[in-house]
Structure 1
Amino acid sequence: MNKLKLVPALILLCFAAASCKKDSQAQAPHTVIQSPLTQRIADSTGLVAQVFSDTVFQVAEGIRETDVHYLSKTGYAMHMFILEIDVTNPKLKLEAATPYNVDAYAMQTVPDMARYLQAAEGRVLAGVNADFFNTTTGEPRGILIRNGKVLKTTWANARSATFMGVRKNGELFIGNREDFDAMKDDFEDALGGGPMLVENNAVLTQTDLSIEPRTGVGLSNDGKLYFMVVDGRSFYYSNGVTITDLGHMLKACGATKAINVDGGGSSTFMIKHPLAEVWQVRNRPSDGTNRAVGNAWMIVSKP
């Protein structure tokens, strides 16, 4: 008699379990990845456990943005922003920006630098923060060349080891101190950076294991420039990465050479929004507001 009473109860439990399973599946559908860059990073780095969402859109001709919200393999919430720029596009130009668009050391936010640069050079379409800097004077830690004028050729410390530059023939170049010493008269613009992340299509392992907001820049062999910002210092939003992991993600995008630039509260990822005439900082700087920095890289449309 007791066994017979148990049968309907077991049936009900099984039905309820199946219903719960269906509800759970309905609440957590499989995410369809939109961006090829997101797919490459998820497939090849071993850093992504789950992509919650990603969006990809055209900022301007030759400039595409990818925004990714994902769960890291270590179980942390993450937000990453990638700008892929076709530097073979004759309408685009990479320029070094300084505060107030002058040849002097100072500090200014990336959007404010864009305003001054646009007044002199043309429409600014996107930008990221660049070199590490003295937080009192704004003096960059690495080298500085702007509009063909060599303004600084010294390096502050061992961490200031690399640079990215625009050669006078328009080609982009990433190199180290020795490269700069040999080529400094050949650059129209150049800004310093930190450790080399990717060289000869290989990720370099770093001794710095700290997890922070990060900014990196990279170049591919097929004419693509990558700006990447990974936000951090916010547990429920985004927790940051190591610089080695930043290198893995830039390589996955296609960069065969890449460097780390200033991060932490300086990390700034800005675009001229395609639907409004405003410069929009797309990431969430960890200071809670846009930090004034020493210099920046800007993408400018040629007349």
Structure 2
Amino acid sequence: MNRIRLVSLLALLSLAAAGCKKDSQAQVPHYTIESPLVKRIADSTDLMAQVFSDTVFQVSEGVRESDVHYLSKEGYAMHAFILEVDLNNPKLKLEAGMPYNVPAYAMQTVPDMAKYMQAAGSPVLAAVNADFFNTSTGEPRGILVMNGKVMKTTWANARSSTFIGVKKDGKVFIGDRADFAAMQNDFEDALGGGPMLVKDNQILTQTDLSVEPRTGIGMSADGKLYFIVVDGRSFYYSNGITITQLGHMLKACGAVKAINVDGGGSSTFMIKHPLADVWQVRNRPSDGTNRPVGNAWLIVTKP
């Protein structure tokens, strides 16, 4: 093969390769993100390599849900569920849920807790699982205040280090052990939690690097509450995240304080569906069914 023919062949191969590269780039779908919260997470963190789909809809006045299917930066399939609750809305209230709506240790699924609470006169709009618990008795690992009564002031281990409380004036507070010791008589309801993820608008360093289904709760400076559940333990559906990644997600939503609560098979994200008169668990608990848990946080409408 002479030099002219060789140069011509190389030029043709180069053009063909460029064409293939152009076609490959053209085939990458461009997706326009619908949810403002998902947009914040995608733009301000490196958690999402690509968003495949997202959905945002109004559960009720002041309560909005965002669901997202995405590819993580590590290349894994992910599904996350985010609830944004505007607690400045005078019709909304955060309440602690206990099994059978009684102040005693037991276990019950989140939807069943909602049924008992609603039967007692508090219409439930949404809920997530809350504190870690003893799987034999239902006793929470952290503190417990129910209906103004301080039921438990001890912490099971170092991991149980935070709490969320609803003060008697209706304001929600996220704090640590020292805060609870100083304020325990100020709360109408309070439930414990795991590590603090965000404090004073700063991500905190975590030593737990495990990847699991997770539930997190955060508060913004302007009174918005965020519930996030990220599913896991299912390779083709959703693989889970670390608690540090959960903290980044909550901070991106707007939380200046946020904590990790029970995860794994306990992670439950439930709403009162706006198009049907049913409570619907929106995520896929990794047990394959709704796990009975020790307590929950519920968004209710005031009578």
TM-score (norm 1): 0.93
Partner of 2:165: 165
Partner of 2:183: 183
Other structure's SS at 1:248 match: helix
Report matched runs for 1:58-77 at 5 Å: 58-77=58-77
Report matched runs for 1:272-291 at 5 Å: 272-291=272-291
Partner of 1:152: 152
Report matched runs for 1:25-104 at 5 Å: 28-104=28-104
Partner of 1:238: 238
Partner of 1:110: 110
After TM superposition, give the deviation of residue 51 of structure 1 in Å. 0.8
Q: For 2:154 and 2:122, how far apart are their aligned partners in 1?
A: 30
After TM superposition, give the deviation of residue 13 of structure 1 in Å. 8.5
| Paired positions, count | 303
Partner of 2:215: 215
Other structure's SS at 1:222 match: coil
Q: For 2:37 and 2:269, how far apart are their aligned partners in 1?
A: 17
Q: For 2:248 and 2:61, how far apart are their aligned partners in 1?
A: 27
Unaligned runs of 5+ residues in structure 2 are none
- Residue deviations 1:119-149 (CA, integer Å, cap 9, x gap): 1132100000000000000000001111111
Q: For 2:128 and 2:199, how far apart are their aligned partners in 1?
A: 21
The letter of the residue matching 1:206 is Q
Check 1:277–1:24 CA distance in 2 against 1; reply closer, same or farther (3 A cut).
Answer: farther
Q: For 1:290 and 1:24, how far apart are their aligned partners in 2?
A: 42
- Residue deviations 1:68-115 (CA, integer Å, cap 9, x gap): 111111111111110000000000000000001011100000000000
> Which segment drifts farther, 12-21 or 241-250?
12-21
After TM superposition, give the deviation of residue 26 of structure 1 in Å. 6.6
> Which segment drifts farther, 12-21 or 185-194?
12-21
Q: For 1:22 and 1:208, how far apart are their aligned partners in 2?
A: 43
Other structure's SS at 2:120 match: helix
Percent identity of paired positions between Structure 1 and Structure 2? 79
Q: For 2:280 and 2:50, how far apart are their aligned partners in 1?
A: 27
2:232 pairs with 1:229: no
2:302 pairs with 1:302: yes
2:140 pairs with 1:137: no
After TM superposition, give the deviation of residue 47 of structure 1 in Å. 1.5
